[in-house]
C-alpha cells in the first residue's frame, strides 16, 4: 500500500472525558481528514474501491474522516487517528476472492437416491391396499 500520510490534514477540538481542568482548556481530540479523489497515491480504480467500501465514513465533500479522543495528548490522538485511517484504507483495498461453486460427486448423488428409495419402500410397506 502506498504512503498517503502527507495528504492527511488534522483538526483539533476539545474532547470530553477524564482530564480535569485540562479537558476544558486544551484541544486534545484530533480529527484526521483525507480527500480521496485528490489523492496522488492511488489509481482511479483503487480510489473507487476505497470510496465504495468506506462510503459510510466519507462525507459529501469526499473526505474520509477519522476522530480520536482516546488519549489526553493531542499528538498521541493524531497518531492513533492516522493509524486507524491507514488500517481502514488498507482493509478497503482487499478484494474478496471469487467463490468457486463446488460440484457434487456421483457417489454422493447415488447415496442420496438410495436413501430416498429406501424411505419410499418403507412407506410403501405401511400402505394398506384397498
Burial state string for 12-41 with b = 16 or more CB within 10 A and e = fewer than 16: eeebeeebeeebeeeebbbbbbbebeebee
How much is the pLDDT for 18?
67
How much is the pLDDT for 17?
66
CA-CA distance, 55 to 48, in Å (whole number)? 10
Which architecture, in CATH terms, is 5-92?
A: 2-Layer Sandwich (3.30)
pTM of the full structure: 0.69
Q: Is residue 64 a contact partner of residue 88, using CB atoms and an 8 Å limit? A: yes
- Provide the residue-wise pLDDT of the chain in tens; the chain has 130 residues: 678 888 899 998 887 766 667 667 778 889 999 999 888 888 999 999 999 999 999 999 989 999 998 888 889 999 999 999 999 999 999 988 999 999 999 999 999 999 999 999 999 989 877 6
Residue 28 in grid coordinates? 486534545
Q: What is the pLDDT of residues 74-106, one digit of tens each?
A: 899 999 999 999 999 999 999 889 999 999 999
- Number of CB atoms found within 10 A of residue 58's CB: 19
CA-CA distance, 79 to 38, in Å (whole number)? 22
Q: Is residue 31 a contact partner of residue 10, using CB atoms and an 8 Å limit? A: yes
Burial of 84 (0-12, 13-18, 19+ CB in 10 A): middle
Amino acid at each position: 500500500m502506498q504512503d498517503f500520510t502527507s495528504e492527511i490534514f488534522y483538526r483539533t477540538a476539545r474532547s470530553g472525558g477524564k482530564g480535569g481542568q485540562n479537558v476544558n482548556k486544551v484541544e486534545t481530540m484530533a480529527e484526521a481528514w483525507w480527500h480521496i479523489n485528490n489523492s496522488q497515491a492511488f489509481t482511479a480504480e483503487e480510489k473507487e474501491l476505497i470510496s465504495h467500501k468506506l462510503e459510510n465514513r466519507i462525507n459529501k465533500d469526499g473526505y474520509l474522516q477519522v476522530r480520536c479522543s482516546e488519549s489526553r495528548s493531542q499528538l498521541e490522538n493524531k497518531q492513533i487517528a492516522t493509524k486507524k485511517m491507514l488500517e481502514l484504507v488498507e482493509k478497503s483495498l482487499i478484494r474478496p476472492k471469487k467463490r468457486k461453486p463446488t460440484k457434487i460427486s456421483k457417489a454422493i448423488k447415488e447415496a442420496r437416491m438410495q436413501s430416498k428409495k429406501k424411505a419410499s419402500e418403507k412407506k410403501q410397506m405401511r400402505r394398506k391396499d384397498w
